[in-house]
Structure 1
Amino acid sequence: MYASSLFGFDLALFQRRMERNGQMGLIGESFEAGLIGRMREDEYESRSGSDNFDGGSGDELDAGDDQPRSKKKKYHRHSPQQIQELENFFKECPHPDEKQRSDLSRKLGLEIKQVKFWFQNRRTQMKTQLERHENMLLRQENEKLRAENSLMKDAMANPTCSNCGGPAIPGQISMEEHQIRIENARLKEELGRVCTLSNKFLGRPLSALASMTMQTQNSGLEFGMGRNGIVGSSNFNMSLPMGFDMGDGVMGTPPPYPGSRTPMGMMGNDAHQERSMLLELAYAAMDELIKMSQPDSSLWIKVSDGTKEVLNHEEYSRIGSPFNDPKPNGFVTEASREIGVLIISSADLVETMLDVDRWSEMFPCMIARAHTLEVISNGTDGSRNGFMQVMQAELQLPSPLVPVRQYTFLRYSKKHAEGVWVVVDVSIDIGRNAANGSPFMSCRRLPSGCILQDMPNGLCQITLVDHSQYDESVVHQNFRPLVNSGIAFGAHRWVATLQRQCESLAIVMSAAPTEDPTAVSPAGKKSMLKLAQRMSDYFLSGICLSSACNWDVLHIGNIGNSDMKIMSRKHMDGPVECIVLSASTSVWMPVSRQRVFDFLIEARLRSEWDSLSNGETMQEMVHIAKGQALGNSVSILRASNAVGNGNEDMLYLQDSWTDSSGSMIVYSPVSLQSLNVVMGGGDSSFVALLPSGFSILPDGHSNSNNIVGGSSDGSGNFGGENDNSGCLLTVGLQMLLKNPQTGKMTKETVDTVNSLIAGTIEKVKDALGVA
C-alpha cells in the first residue's frame, strides 16, 4: 500500500517533520473510537499545547504582518484545574459549538476566544501526533523495502542453485557443503509452510514479522511497530510501554507474564516470535470485535421475529476481514449478536470471565470443562487491562444428539474507557482440535466476545458477539435448525444465561436472616443451592460426553433406538463396586416449550409421568427461589401419602430453571437425614446423588424461540403462547446397579433402561394430548 508513494517523499523532509512533531507527543493518551476520522478531516492549523495567546488567533496575527505591531504577544497559561476540565470535555466533544464554548468560558473563568483557541490547538496537537505515527509506519516500511531491494541485488549478483541454494556454477563448493545447503533449503521450505499456516489467521505471513523484527533490531531502534501501529518491544523480556491508542479498542502492548513459557509450542521453539504472533492475533481479533459490535452496523440483519440479529455475510465479506478465510469442507458459519442488561458491574464480570473457575460456575449448563493453558500477560498496573491467556473450553448443549464443542482460544481483555471493558476470544488451533474419531465437534471460534459498559445503579450493558464455524454433519437433523439459528451456542444463549445467573446471585446475596424457625437459613440456602448445582452437573455429564466425564459408551446389541445413548461408570458404594448406568435421548414434541415445562414442574401431576413415584402425587415441602420467573427454584418434594407408609425418609431434591434459551428440570432421590444436614448449612459434598430429568429446548424455528416463565391455570389445562410451535425434549435417567458377581452390563439391563426412557416419553405425550 505504501510502496507506490514511499519513494516520492524526501526522507530529509520526513526527519524534519518528525523532529517538529516530537515536541508535541501524546503517547499514552487515549480517545474515543471514531475520532481518528474526524481528526483526518480537521482543517485547523494552530499552535499546540495548553498555553494561549491573549489576543487573536494565529491567522489574525499573521494578517497584520505588514503593520507595525503595537504590543507584544502575551501568553496565558491555564491552571491545572482548567486544563483538566477542558481535557474531560474534549474527550466527550472535540468540536464544541458556540453555546458549549460559552458555558465553558463562564465555568472556567476564561474568555470565549481562549476556549476556542484551546480546542483548535488540542485538535491540531492530536492531528500532528497522528501524522507522526503515520510517518513512523512509512519510515519502517521504507527500511523494509530497502532491505528487500538489497537482497534482490545480492541474489542477482550471486545466482544460486534452485535445488540446494548453493552457487549456480558447479565445482565451487565441496560435497559436504552441498548437502548442508540442500538440508537448509528443505528447512526453508518447511518454514514457508508454517508461514502460510500462520497467515490464515494473522492476515500477515510469519516471514514478514520475522523480517520486521530483524530490521528493528539492526536499525538500533528500541521499539518496533505492531499491527495498526501499536508500539511493541523488540525484546520481549522487557516490560512493554503503553502506546498510541487508536481509539478502536487496541491500546499498547501488555507486559509479559513473568517466567512465561512458550504457549503450547504453537509455532516452533522461538518463544519471542510465538508471543509476537499471539499479540498480533489478539489485536486483530479486538479490532474485528469492536467493528462487529457497533450499533446500527450494516453487518447485522434482524431475523423475522425482529428480536435477534444474524450476520450479513455479504457485507462481512466486503470489509476485508483477515479471518474471512474459506471454510473447510462441510463447515458452516454461525454468527449472532445480542444486547442485554445485567445485574453486575463491568469490572466484576471481567474478573469472572478471566478466572476460569468463576467463568465455569457462571455458565454451568453451557461449559462442561474449562482450564487455562498459558498466561501470556497479567495486565498492566495490577489491573486486568491487557490481560491475555490461552484457554481451552468444552461447550455443551443438553442433548446426546449434539456433540460437545472443544475450543482452544486466546482470551484478551482491555479497558477501553472508564467503565467500558472489551473481552475477545479467538481460536488459535484453526479447527484442528477435533481429529478423526474424536467425540468432539470440529469447530473454529472466530473473533467473539463482549463489550461491557457500566450503567447507573450497578447495572451493566453487554453487547455480545459470537462467531464460529463448525462441522454440521455431526449434528442430528432435528437439532440443525436450533444450532444454525445461534440459540444453541450463540450470543442469545450466553446473554440469557448471564442474566439468569446474575439474578440468582443477587437473590442469594440479598437474603436476610429470618426469625421463622421453619424457614431455611441463608447458610442452608447456599448449601442447598450448591447441592442442586452438583446434581445438575452430574445430570449433564450423563448426557453430554465431555473429557471431564469418566463414562464409557455402551454398544450392546440392538437397543431399539439409534438416538439413545447409554453409558456406564464404576462406583464404589462402601466396599461394594457398583455400576452407574446413564441413558438419554431427545425427541421433537409438537407442543410449545412453555407448555411442557409447566406440566413437568407441577408436583401434583408428577405421578402421570414419573414411574418411580409409584402413582403417588407429590407436594412441595421446601421452595428456594433462584429468580423472578416461576420455576426458577430449588425444591424438596415428598409423596403426599409417604407418612405412615414407611417412605417418609425418602424425598426428592429438584432443581429447575427456565429462560429464553431453554429450560431444565433435574431431580434425584435424597434421604431426609442428608437433607437435614444440608439445610442446616452443613457440607453437601457427602450426599449421594442419582439425577434424572429433562431439558426442553426450542426447535430452532422463530415462532418457538421466544418464551417466558409461566404456570398452568390450575385446571391441568397447560395452555400458553406458541401452542402451534414445537420443542426438543431430552430425557435422561441414571440408575445404580449392584452386580458384584459379574460387574458387567447385560442386554436385559439395557433393555430395561430403554423401556423406562421410552415409557416416560409416551406418558408425557399422552398427558399433553400428543399423538
Structure 2
Amino acid sequence: MNTRANNIQRASDIVVGVSTHVDPTKAKIIDLAYSAMDELIVLGLVGEPLWQPKKHDRHQTLNSIEYLRQFGMIDESLRGIIKLVEVGEPQSLPSLESYLLEPSMSNATQNVALQVEASRDVEYIKMSPMKLIELLMDMNQWGREFYNIVSRTTMVRTLLDGVEGSNNGKLLVMNTELHLPTPFVPTRECYFARYCKQLSQETWGVVDVSLEKFIASPSKYIRRRPSGSLIQGMPNGFSKVIWVEHVEADHGQVNKKLQPLFGAGYAFGATRWLASIVQHNEWSETLKEPTLAADDRVLISKAGRMSFLNMGDRMMRTFCSDINASTRNPWKQIPSFYGSTDVRYIVKNNNNSETGKPPGTSVIFTTSVWIHASPNRLFNFLRHESSRKKNSEDKTDIYYIQKSYTDSIASYVVYAPLDESALKSLSNGSNPEIVMMLPSGFTILPARFSDNNNGDGSLLTIAFHSIESTSIRSSIPSESVEILYKVITETISAIKDAMM
C-alpha cells in the first residue's frame, strides 16, 4: 500500500475508533481534554520546584520527580496548587477555580521505555490573542505557520463546536507528523485532541493531549502529554504566550550525538515553537516596508519586493517539505559500492500538473555529515555567496534567490537558481507561484561529539535538487547516480577543508 493510501487508512481507522460506541468514547476524550486543560494551567503558571531554570538557556525544564509528586495526588491537591498560585500573583493570573471540574491526568500510566522531554518558555508576540487562537485552531494556518516543524497535519474530526461558532470550547481530533530538517532523524507522528478554552476576558488556553488510550497510535515511540499555550492579551497590542511542551519519546531511534538535543528540550521544545511565530511576524513586518534596497543600492518597487519575499517564503517551505523523513518522502539509498557516504535520493515527476515546477523528472539527493565546527561558524561560511558557489553543483554564472536564517535550534541556507526573465518578472511584481523553482541548500543542527566536548560540532545536511529529464521517468540511470554521488561527496570535502 502506498503512502497516500496508508494515510487515508489511518484517518479512516481513527474515525471508526471515535465513532464506535460514540457516546462513551467521545465522552472519555472530552473528559481527557478537560483534564489536560487543568494540567496545562498548572504547568503554565507554577514556578519552582516544578520547573527548573537552565543555565545559559531561556527555557525551563520540568522536574520529573516534582511532576509525579504533584500530579500523582488527588484532585484536591491540584486545586490547592492553583489556589496558591492565585494568591501569589493575583494581578497577572486568571481565576481558575471554575475550570477545575474534571479529574486530572494524575493516574496516567507511565511508560518506562520512553524518555521525558519537557520545556517551558515565554514570549511577547505582536499579535492579538484572537489571531493567535485562530492560528492554532485552523489546521491550514497551523501547518503553514510551522512548516519548519510540521511535515503534515490532518483535522480528523470536530468533537465539540465552539460557543456560538467561536473557538471557545472547540475540541478537535488531529493527526500530525513532526520533523527535524534532515532525512536521517525519524519523524514523530501521533493522533491527539486539541482543546481551546477562554479562561478569562483576556486569557485563553489551547491544549493538546495524545489519544493512545482510546485509538491505536501510528507510533509506539511517542506520547504527547498535556502540552500547549496560555495566551494573555497585553495593553500594548502584544500577547504574552506561555508555551509548554511535554512528551515522552524513544530516544533510541536518534543518533547518540543528537540525543542531548531531545532530552534537554531543544529539538521539539517550547522555544522552537515560539521562535517560529516570531520569525513569521518578522517576515510579515518586512512585507509592510515601502521599499527594499538591494546590496548594490538598487531600489525595488513595493510590488517587486512582495514578489521576492513571497518567492523566498515559497522556496523555504518547499525545501523544508523536501528535506525531512516524512512518510511522503520515499527516500532511496545510493548503493554502497559507490562509496561509504550515505547518500539518499528521491525521484520526482511533474506532468505539468504542478505550477512553478519544471515538467519532467527531477531528483533530490541528500546526505547528513558531522562537521567539527560550531553551527554559527558553519552558517556564516555557507550563507555567503562566494562560499556557496565553491560548494554548489552549479558551475555556470546564474542568478540566485537565497534565504538564510537561524531559529532556536537549526540554521537554514536555501537558494534556487533563476534565469534573467524570471528575475525581471519578479522585479515587476509577478506571481511567484508560477515561477519555475527547484530549491537546494543546507541545514545545520548542533551536535555533541563526546561527553567532554559539548556543543562545538554540527550535523550538516546538504540537499541538491536538479532536473534529470524533460520526460517522465520512474527511475534514474546509473550514470546519473554516479554523478550525483560525486557532486555531493566533493561538496562535503570542500566544506570540511574550509572548516579545518
On whether the aligned pair clears a TM of 0.5, the verdict is yes
Distance across 1 between alignment mates of 2:259 and 2:382: 25
Distance across 2 between alignment mates of 1:452 and 1:555: 48
Aligned with 1:471 (options 247, 250, 271): 250
SS of equivalent to 1:512? coil
Gaps of 5+ in 1: 1-260, 436-440, 615-638, 640-649, 704-721
SS of equivalent to 2:317? helix
SS of equivalent to 1:681? coil
Aligned with 1:610 (options 360, 376, 392): 392
* Partner of residue 383, structure 1: 166
Aligned with 1:683 (options 431, 439, 454): 431
* Partner of residue 106, structure 1: none
Q: Does 1:591 align with 2:373?
A: yes
Which residue type is aligned with residue 481 of structure 1? Answer: P
* Partner of residue 755, structure 1: 486
* Partner of residue 34, structure 2: 283
Q: Deviations over 1:697-719 (max 9, x none)?
A: 2226999xxxxxxxxxxxxxxxx
Q: Map 1:204-243 onto structure 2 (within 5 A).
A: none
Change (3 A) 1:263 1:387: farther
Distance across 1 between alignment mates of 2:111 and 2:332: 31
Aligned with 2:217 (options 417, 433, 436): 433
Q: Deviations over 1:346-400 (max 9, x none)?
A: 1110111111111122112111111211112231134321111111111111011
Residues 263 and 374, structure 1, Cα contact 8 Å, conserved in 2: no
Aligned with 1:423 (options 200, 206, 222): 206
Q: Does 1:494 align with 2:273?
A: yes
Which residue type is aligned with residue 194 of structure 2? Answer: R
* Partner of residue 538, structure 1: 318
Q: CA deviation at 1:411?
A: 0.7
Distance across 1 between alignment mates of 2:54 and 2:292: 48
* Partner of residue 354, structure 1: 137
Which residue type is aligned with residue 756 of structure 1? Answer: V
Aligned with 1:766 (options 487, 497, 500): 497
Aligned with 1:656 (options 400, 404, 410): 404
Which residue type is aligned with residue 400 of structure 2? Answer: Y
Change (3 A) 1:538 1:742: closer
Change (3 A) 1:323 1:523: farther
Which residue type is aligned with residue 29 of structure 2? Answer: L
Distance across 2 between alignment mates of 1:469 and 1:405: 11
Which residue type is aligned with residue 389 of structure 1? Answer: L
Distance across 1 between alignment mates of 2:323 and 2:183: 5
SS of equivalent to 2:16? coil
Distance across 2 between alignment mates of 1:515 and 1:605: 23
Q: CA deviation at 1:558?
A: 3.7
Distance across 2 between alignment mates of 1:324 and 1:724: 35
Change (3 A) 1:543 1:767: same
Q: Deviations over 1:584-620 (max 9, x none)?
A: 1222222221111111112233333234245xxxxxx
Number of equivalent positions: 449
Change (3 A) 1:398 1:559: farther
Q: Does 1:373 align with 2:152?
A: no
Q: Does 1:565 align with 2:351?
A: no
Aligned with 1:485 (options 264, 272, 285): 264
Q: Does 1:405 align with 2:165?
A: no
Distance across 1 between alignment mates of 2:55 and 2:337: 43
Q: Deviations over 1:7-52 (max 9, x none)?
A: xxxxxxxxxxxxxxxxxxxxxxxxxxxxxxxxxxxxxxxxxxxxxx
Distance across 2 between alignment mates of 1:702 and 1:567: 33
Which residue type is aligned with residue 322 of structure 1? Answer: S
Residues 317 and 324, structure 1, Cα contact 8 Å, conserved in 2: no
Distance across 1 between alignment mates of 2:487 and 2:216: 39
* Partner of residue 98, structure 1: none
Distance across 2 between alignment mates of 1:743 and 1:465: 44
Q: Does 1:674 align with 2:422?
A: yes
Residues 194 and 209, structure 2, Cα contact 8 Å, conserved in 1: yes
Distance across 1 between alignment mates of 2:322 and 2:50: 39
Q: CA deviation at 1:324?
A: 4.0
Gaps of 5+ in 2: 1-11, 73-104
Which residue type is aligned with residue 316 of structure 2? Answer: S
Distance across 2 between alignment mates of 1:559 and 1:262: 42
Which residue type is aligned with residue 24 of structure 2? Answer: Q
* Partner of residue 26, structure 1: none
Aligned with 2:464 (options 733, 740, 744): 733
Q: CA deviation at 1:448?
A: 0.4
Q: CA deviation at 1:762?
A: 1.6
Which residue type is aligned with residue 398 of structure 1? Answer: P
Q: CA deviation at 1:739?
A: 7.6
Aligned with 1:325 (options 92, 102, 109): 109
Distance across 1 between alignment mates of 2:459 and 2:306: 32
Distance across 1 between alignment mates of 2:337 and 2:134: 49
Residues 662 and 697, structure 1, Cα contact 8 Å, conserved in 2: yes
Q: Deviations over 1:272-323 (max 9, x none)?
A: 2222112101111101111111242322222343533211111111121436
Q: CA deviation at 1:263?
A: 7.0
Greater strand content: 2
Q: Does 1:448 align with 2:227?
A: yes
Distance across 2 between alignment mates of 1:307 and 1:413: 26
Q: Deviations over 1:142-176 (max 9, x none)?
A: xxxxxxxxxxxxxxxxxxxxxxxxxxxxxxxxxxx
Which residue type is aligned with residue 217 of structure 2? Answer: N
Change (3 A) 1:296 1:322: closer
* Partner of residue 45, structure 2: 294
Q: CA deviation at 1:427?
A: 0.8
Residues 364 and 466, structure 2, Cα contact 8 Å, conserved in 1: yes
Change (3 A) 1:742 1:692: closer
Q: Map 1:702-717 onto structure 2 (within 5 A).
A: none
Q: Deviations over 1:645-670 (max 9, x none)?
A: xxxxx411112112332210111111
Q: CA deviation at 1:479?
A: 2.0
Q: Does 1:309 align with 2:60?
A: yes
Change (3 A) 1:491 1:594: same
Change (3 A) 1:373 1:364: same
Aligned with 1:746 (options 477, 482, 486): 477
SS of equivalent to 1:337? strand
Distance across 2 between alignment mates of 1:476 and 1:514: 43
Distance across 2 between alignment mates of 1:506 and 1:739: 40
Q: CA deviation at 1:533?
A: 2.4
SS of equivalent to 1:478? coil
Which residue type is aligned with residue 421 of structure 2? Answer: Q
Q: CA deviation at 1:466?
A: 0.6
Which residue type is aligned with residue 511 of structure 1? Answer: E
Q: CA deviation at 1:514?
A: 8.6
Change (3 A) 1:407 1:519: farther
Which residue type is aligned with residue 752 of structure 1? Answer: I
Residues 291 and 300, structure 2, Cα contact 8 Å, conserved in 1: no
* Partner of residue 255, structure 1: none
Which residue type is aligned with residue 589 of structure 1? Answer: I
Residues 590 and 727, structure 1, Cα contact 8 Å, conserved in 2: yes
Residues 346 and 452, structure 1, Cα contact 8 Å, conserved in 2: yes
Change (3 A) 1:323 1:303: farther
* Partner of residue 4, structure 2: none
Q: State the structure with bigger RCO (CA 8 A, min sep 6), 1 or 2.
A: 2
The TM-score, its normalising length taken from structure 2, stands at: 0.81
Change (3 A) 1:677 1:739: closer
SS of equivalent to 2:300? coil
SS of equivalent to 1:384? coil
Change (3 A) 1:432 1:443: farther
Distance across 1 between alignment mates of 2:46 and 2:195: 22
Change (3 A) 1:352 1:700: farther
Which residue type is aligned with residue 378 of structure 2? Answer: V
